[in-house]
């Protein structure tokens, strides 16, 4: 067992070897609790430790499965496949390896987008979803969307070949700044906790993963506006989206346009909260997860 995992009471660590669409992959899995399985998928620039405040709130009633996305945290960084559709295939492969046929899902940011696409492409694998500060894939060009342009500056820097990698690998302040600038309550992620996330990017292959992931963001955003690749797909998995409205990374305009594309979906806008809602409002998030998934 590799050393260096941040401690969260009750969490155990293992690796899961999967046969993913891009080839063999070793996935780090943090696990806690007992009960029906709940898959939690993190976003950028984090890893499984993002869920540290939800573990004590949910582990008494759920088995929490908290994998690191490929290239992030302690999962293998193979140098390719850093895009949402590959993350979907990886998530399904993890469920297959664990012999779990169907699961509830919670996802934030990139993990939330992965969850949404999993619900669209593999609805038989999901029972219910709670997504956190996640854009929907059906937003349309509008004046409201102009609000996203100044919020995307960090994503564009991350995506520049060479620049994005160096920002992650050589500057702890880059990741720390982006974690803490989107908080209304700055104490929700301390400088020490931000450092736990930032230090993983000192490994060049993980810094490259972040750069390539945001390259896929730029491509997917422009393709989404031009080609509308998900318009023909309908979300049948019951879904709730919680969104901290003071998010400096994502505009609320990105949460619109799902009407007519989902059987059972609702959006709750959370005031006085930024992008990292699971850390800033863990009691509210845990209560919403608990009540929705109990239905």
Average pLDDT over residues 6-22: 94
Q: In angstroms, what CA-CA distances link 196 with 73, 177, 241?
A: 10, 13, 27
Please give the model's pTM, rounded to 2 decimal places.
0.96
Instruction: Give me the pLDDT at residue 145, please.
Output: 77
* Secondary structure class of 31 (helix, strand, coil): strand
Computed over every residue of the chain, the mean pLDDT equals: 94
pLDDT at 23 over 90: no
Q: Are 39 and 65 in contact (CB under 8 A)?
A: yes
pLDDT at 198 over 90: yes
Q: Are 37 and 97 in contact (CB under 8 A)?
A: no
The span from the CA of 28 to the CA of 286, in Å, is 24
Residue 278 corresponds to which tokens in the numbers above?
A: 């699971």
Average pLDDT over residues 109-125: 97
pLDDT tens per residue, range 248-293: 999 999 999 999 999 999 999 999 999 999 999 999 999 999 999 9
Q: Are 34 and 64 in contact (CB under 8 A)?
A: no
Instruction: Give me the pLDDT at residue 2, please.
Output: 47
pLDDT at 1 over 50: no
pLDDT at 136 over 90: yes
Residue 145 corresponds to which tokens in the numbers above?
A: 């969307």
Instruction: Give me the pLDDT at residue 288, please.
Output: 98
Residue 139 corresponds to which tokens in the numbers above?
A: 């937003």
Percent residues over pLDDT 70 in the chain: 97
Average pLDDT over residues 218-222: 74
Q: Are 232 and 93 in contact (CB under 8 A)?
A: no
Stretch (H or E) spanning 198: helix 191-198
More confident residue, 131 or 230: 131
Instruction: Give me the pLDDT at residue 140, please.
Output: 75
The span from the CA of 272 to the CA of 255, in Å, is 17
Instruction: Give me the pLDDT at residue 224, please.
Output: 62
Per-residue pLDDT band at 49 (split at 50, 70, 90): very high
């Amino acid at each position: 067992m590799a050393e260096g995992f941040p401690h969260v009471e009750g969490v155990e660590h293992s690796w899961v070897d999967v046969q993913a669409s891009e080839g063999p992959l070793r996935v780090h899995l943090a696990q806690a609790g007992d009960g029906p399985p709940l898959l939690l998928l993190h976003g950028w620039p984090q890893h499984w430790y993002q869920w540290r405040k939800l573990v004590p709130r949910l582990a008494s009633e759920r088995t929490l499965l908290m994998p690191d996305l490929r290239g992030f945290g302690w999962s293998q960084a193979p140098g390719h496949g850093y895009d949402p559709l590959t993350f979907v295939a990886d998530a399904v492969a993890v469920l297959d390896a664990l012999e779990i046929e169907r699961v509830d899902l919670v996802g934030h940011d990139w993990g939330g987008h992965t969850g949404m696409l999993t619900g669209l492409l593999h609805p038989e694998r999901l029972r219910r979803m709670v997504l956190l500060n996640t854009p929907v894939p059906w937003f349309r060009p509008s004046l409201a969307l102009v609000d996203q342009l100044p919020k995307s500056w960090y994503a564009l820097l991350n995506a520049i070949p060479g620049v994005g990698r160096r920002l992650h690998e050589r500057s702890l302040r880059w990741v720390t700044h982006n974690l803490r600038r989107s908080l209304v309550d700055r104490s929700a992620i301390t400088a020490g906790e931000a450092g736990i996330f930032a230090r993983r990017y000192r490994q060049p292959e993980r810094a490259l993963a972040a750069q390539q992931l945001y390259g896929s963001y730029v491509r997917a955003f422009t393709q989404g506006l031009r080609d509308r690749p998900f318009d023909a797909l309908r979300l049948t998995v019951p879904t709730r989206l919680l969104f901290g409205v003071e998010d400096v990374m994502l505009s609320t305009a990105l949460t619109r346009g799902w009407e007519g594309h989902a059987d059972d979906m609702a959006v709750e806008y959370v005031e006085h909260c930024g992008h990292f809602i699971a850390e800033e409002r863990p009691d509210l998030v845990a209560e919403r997860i608990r009540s929705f998934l109990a239905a």
